[in-house]
């Protein structure tokens, strides 16, 4: 499993009906209070019983006001967990908007992500409850500010609305964001990727990174879970530990070691210095996983991973040549990104240039092959020659022409 230094939201492999989950939670809490639904009829329906909702739960015959008070207390505690004050627990209110909860799509620690709707639009709502630590609150405020700065950037998940609600327990933070079908972690686990798929995904990742670098922002926590697929486009999320770069520097100092070990650069772990090239290392790890179907630190425990990242031993690559020029080019870029010395890693602009160069070369070859096919067809039809012999001869002539052009 993935070793983490900071708590991040991870996707669940299932979704739950929020109403059903709430009712189960209420029954469980009622039992702990001494009210057993089987014996006194006070169990909560797990269906969408609107009478129960309207009446703060309809109790069995003989149930008294004490039981009703307990039920109301339990319901209020669950509503506080969700950050909603409405009686309809299928809804969460954000700045006067009633958001219909469709399912829970992710959770971790004190955070949950819901799939919600407002009118005909579908969004992702991230709810973080009971935030009491000042640094954690600053991290979320930082994420909000950066997402506001990046609004309108096509490569970044859009932040539509937010709220920070303070109460006696702490803060509840709500972020209403653009909804994505799945993250890259889930996509890579469920798809058999062709080389062209890896090439296209890596290209889009470079476009994502180029977009935030144009705004002088370092992400600092790149991993597959932080890339989300929206339609046929890959977008970047989670700017909780990202930092802006001042105009007079290329590095920023992180106050603490945060990130996910499998994707952390050696310098982030060792010296707390983070730069764009730290993100390049993380991109290289993701590319390695796509190309080789595993992480190069698989089989190591947490401490072995830390020792490896702090040490001088280079990342090992399988010694194989597939003959696939596109795949070999991706492997080469992966090796460049995973150099332990940051100054020897390429920039995003370097990688974009290399990918463009290869893509343009592929286009040229495709165009030339089409021209050759048309030439063969025209010659066969005109001279009524033996097609098979003509193809062999013309391909030989064509390849000789290409060799002369490439000298």
Sign of the torsion angle spanned by Cα atoms 132, 135, 139, 144: positive
* Strand ranges for 132-232 from DSSP E: 159-166, 171-178, 182-183, 217-218, 227-230
State both tokens at 331. 């492997």
Q: Is 87 annotated in some ligand binding site?
A: no
State both tokens at 92. 């969460």
Torsion of Cα atoms, 58 then 59 then 61 then 64, to 10°: -120
Active-site residue among 90, 183, 221, 279? Answer: 221
384: left (phi over 0), alpha (psi -120 to 50) or beta: left
Concerning whether 221 is annotated as a catalytic residue, the answer is: yes
State both tokens at 106. 């992710």
The residues pairing with 397 across neighbouring beta strands, listed in sequence order, are none
Residues 334-368: b if buried by 16+ CB within 10 A, e if exposed: bebbbbbebeebbebeebbebbeebeeeeeeeeee
Known binding residues:
126
Known binding residues for ATP:
126
Q: Which residues are catalytic?
A: 221
């Amino acid at each position: 499993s993935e070793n983490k230094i900071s708590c991040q939201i991870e996707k669940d492999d299932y979704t739950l009906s929020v109403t059903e989950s709430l009712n189960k939670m209420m029954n469980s809490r009622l039992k702990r209070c001494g009210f057993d639904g089987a014996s006194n009829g006070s169990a909560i329906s797990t269906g969408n019983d609107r009478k129960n909702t309207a009446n703060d739960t309809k109790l069995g015959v003989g149930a008294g006001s004490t039981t009703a008070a307990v039920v109301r207390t339990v319901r209020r505690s669950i509503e506080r967990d969700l950050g909603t004050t409405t009686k309809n627990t299928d809804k969460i209110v954000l700045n006067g908007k009633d958001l219909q909860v469709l399912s829970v799509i992710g959770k971790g620690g004190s955070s949950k992500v819901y799939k919600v709707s407002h009118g005909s639009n579908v969004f992702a709502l991230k709810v973080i409850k009971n935030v009491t630590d000042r640094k954690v609150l600053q991290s979320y405020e930082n994420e909000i500010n950066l997402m506001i700065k990046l609004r309108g950037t096509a490569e970044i998940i859009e932040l539509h609305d937010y709220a920070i609600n303070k109460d006696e327990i702490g803060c509840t933070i709500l972020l209403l964001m653009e909804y994505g079908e799945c993250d890259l972690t889930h996509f890579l686990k469920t798809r058999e990727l062709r080389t062209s798929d890896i090439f296209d995904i890596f290209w889009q990742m470079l476009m994502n990174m180029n977009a935030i670098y144009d705004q002088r922002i370092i992400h600092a926590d790149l991993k597959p879970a932080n890339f989300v697929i929206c339609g046929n486009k890959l977008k970047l999320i989670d700017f909780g530990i990202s930092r802006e770069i001042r105009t007079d520097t290329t590095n920023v100092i992180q106050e603490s070691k945060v990130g996910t070990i499998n994707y952390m650069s050696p310098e982030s772990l060792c010296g707390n210095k983070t730069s764009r090239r730290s993100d390049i290392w993380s991109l290289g790890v993701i590319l390695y996983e796509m190309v080789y179907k595993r992480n190069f630190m698989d089989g190591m425990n947490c401490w072995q991973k830390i020792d490896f990242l702090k040490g001088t031993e280079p990342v090992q690559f399988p010694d194989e040549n597939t003959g696939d020029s596109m795949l070999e080019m991706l492997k080469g870029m992966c090796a460049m990104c995973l150099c332990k010395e940051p100054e020897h890693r390429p920039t995003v602009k370097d990688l974009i240039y290399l990918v463009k160069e290869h893509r343009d070369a592929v286009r040229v070859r495709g165009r030339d092959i089409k021209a050759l096919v048309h030439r063969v067809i025209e010659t066969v039809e005109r001279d009524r020659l033996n097609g098979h012999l003509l193809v062999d001869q013309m391909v030989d002539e064509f390849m000789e022409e290409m060799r002369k052009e490439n000298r």
